[in-house]
Structure 1
């Protein structure tokens, strides 16, 4: 069966099931895992699917992808982004890390940082950074979002306003063509806006899949950022806007990551 026939069927299955797996598609079509992986890569490159560990999911426009799937989405790219971002966080500073799988990856790269005050509304980040004896970890108050270990709401915002951070490391659900930072959860958006207000420099960590996704709620403008860390160059128009606004654009190479 040719890929021109397989691709529409793969999309039909994804629409019915919400997710496709390499193993399941290989059995369904009677082809090798390698063939299925190439099919999924082709479909992801055209924006029709988002790759996750072991398969793919439909791109989301109004609801976010499940947290477990987000963790596996472009895993190598996130590791490269985390390495590049953590390398630009100095010792002896204060930093906020918000909710997201990319910020968790950055936290894992900060285990050798010295004399760090890290504040977070992400229980997963707090657990990771607790392994660094030279990092004082502060967890905000807030309402626990069980799906991803995030804390949100007015209590979270009030905690954040007690600090002024040297750096904030934030993720997002999508980036619009003009550079607007977008998300799905309005309560989380309020928290992220407060983080940005209380930070001297804001680093956005966002892999290339965020440039082709959509989300309904505007978080911030491109001009609110000091830097973007990603794993593939964005569209030329957005790159030019970064240059005009003096927002540093760091494109990390996943193949260069030693991990």
Structure 2
């Protein structure tokens, strides 16, 4: 396959998986590592990818990538993470799900839960949970972010402050090596901080592609989270922070039923 055809496929692979590696691309295309490195360098120079050690990722910056692209990144991992998270939500719980493609996946996994009270600032989640006839779904006010169906701003915060949730399920745009939870929209961050304050337990759901990304606004820290659901090992600093703060880490696909008897 020539470079003209190879480059678009490399970008599509990065969109699906969040990251591409030199070794993986060599195996996929049957070309030399030098050829792949040249492709990745040229794609980075064009602003379509960002070079990292051993490969490349979708470009970071001060603006998030498109919603439809985010939905496709690590889709299988997001579903696995969502299933793991849903196991820890008992029937009859009150919970909040915020904006994010992984929290949307969690909503799908809650369709058979009974007696839920769900508050969300995500129009897509509200539509999904309308398929659960036994769930009471409340949508916050706020300014509509048309790009992804999110509701942000002071009206969203005011709605959230009227509740004390059993569980909050939040996503993030990026996670730094030292455990900082990061996002792009300062208005969304303000809402998320109020969610954390109004919840008895906070669950973070984020796949490993977030470990390689960067975002400019700090939401909080892994120390603020009770349980973190992901699919890849954490950095040493983040793992140490979780150990010190008592944040439990759950990896998608692993069975923790003998440790936590919270299956609904």
Note whether the superposition's TM-score is higher than 0.5.
Answer: yes
Shift of 1:253: 3.3
In the alignment, which residue of structure 2 is the partner of 1:16? Answer: 46
Task: Find the residue that maps to 1:192 and give its secondary structure.
Answer: helix
In the alignment, which residue of structure 2 is the partner of 1:6? Answer: 36
Task: Find the residue that maps to 2:96 and give its secondary structure.
Answer: strand
User: What TM-score does the superposition give when structure 2 sets the normalisation length?
Assistant: 0.80
In the alignment, which residue of structure 2 is the partner of 1:49? Answer: 56
In 2, Cα distance between the equivalents of 1:144 and 1:216? Answer: 21
In the alignment, which residue of structure 2 is the partner of 1:234? Answer: 234
- Choose 172-181 or 182-191, whichever is displaced more: 172-181
Structure 1 unaligned spans of 5+: 20-42, 51-57, 255-259
In the alignment, which residue of structure 2 is the partner of 1:251? Answer: 251
**For residues 165-189 of structure 1, what are the alpha-carbon distances to aligned partners after superposition, in whole Å with 9 as ceiling and x for unaligned?**
0000000011112211111100000
Structure 2 unaligned spans of 5+: 1-30, 255-264
- Mapping of 1:137-176 within 5 angstroms? 137-176=137-176
Task: Find the residue that maps to 1:49 and give its secondary structure.
Answer: strand
**For residues 74-125 of structure 1, what are the alpha-carbon distances to aligned partners after superposition, in whole Å with 9 as ceiling and x for unaligned?**
1111111101101101101100000000000000000010000000000000
In the alignment, which residue of structure 1 is the partner of 2:213? Answer: 213
Kept in 2, the 8 Å contact 1:94–1:166? The answer is yes
Q: Does 1:94 align with 2:124?
A: no
Q: What's the RMSD between the two structures over aligned residues?
A: 1.9
In the alignment, which residue of structure 2 is the partner of 1:111? Answer: 111
In the alignment, which residue of structure 1 is the partner of 2:188? Answer: 188
Kept in 2, the 8 Å contact 1:142–1:151? The answer is yes
In 2, Cα distance between the equivalents of 1:117 and 1:241? Answer: 32
Shift of 1:223: 1.9
In 2, Cα distance between the equivalents of 1:45 and 1:112? Answer: 41
Shift of 1:8: 2.2
Kept in 2, the 8 Å contact 1:98–1:120? The answer is yes
**For residues 118-161 of structure 1, what are the alpha-carbon distances to aligned partners after superposition, in whole Å with 9 as ceiling and x for unaligned?**
00000000011100011110000000000000000011101111
Shift of 1:17: 6.6
In 2, Cα distance between the equivalents of 1:204 and 1:99? Answer: 12
In 2, Cα distance between the equivalents of 1:2 and 1:47? Answer: 14
- Choose 133-142 or 236-245, whichever is displaced more: 236-245
Shift of 1:236: 2.4
In 1, Cα distance between the equivalents of 2:118 and 2:51? Answer: 35
Shift of 1:14: 5.5
In 1, Cα distance between the equivalents of 2:107 and 2:73? Answer: 18
In 1, Cα distance between the equivalents of 2:170 and 2:187? Answer: 15
User: 1:47 and 1:78, CA in 2 relative to 1: closer, same or farther beyond 3 A?
Assistant: farther
